Amino acid sequence: MKLITAIIKPFKLEEVRQSLDLIGITGMTITEVKGFGRQKGHTELYRGAEYVIDFLPKIKIEIAVSIGQLEDVIAAITKSASTGKIGDGKIFVSTLDQVIRIRTGETDQDAI
């Protein structure tokens, strides 16, 4: 089992969700986060004064998947979240040692 964590632009969330739904992924956790990478934020003008915006709004998506679904999920996120511009985001893949569904006690693959 793997945990996929994707950081994407906020306006791409619905497109990513629909893309994942098409391949059968219905469970995910979404968090509104702020951060920056290589782009290091940007400057904005407000009432004649220039402000540096260090942390940009992003969306973090977390999805637990079986190893067999991994490549399809990565491809779906990559395709639907891409704008071709800086700041499109990143995808991180981690190993899940154990998953437990609290309500039923199911474990691992049955709990996903």
Domain of residue 50, CATH code: 3.30.70.120
Which residues, 6 or more positions from 77, have their beta carbon under 8 angstroms from its beta carbon?
4, 6, 8, 16, 19, 20, 61, 91
How many C-beta neighbours within 10 Å does residue 4 have? 22
Reported as half-sphere exposure (CB side, CA atoms, 13 A), residue 59 has a value of 17
Distance CA 59, CA 73 (A): 17
Of 69, 111, 82, which Cα lies nearest the Cα of 9?
Answer: 82
Overall number of domains in the chain: 1
Domain that holds residue 27: 2-111
Task: Give the torsion sign (CA, 39, 12, 35, 61).
Answer: negative
pTM, two decimal places: 0.84
pLDDT along the chain (112 residues), means of 10: 96 97 94 82 68 82 95 97 91 95 90 84
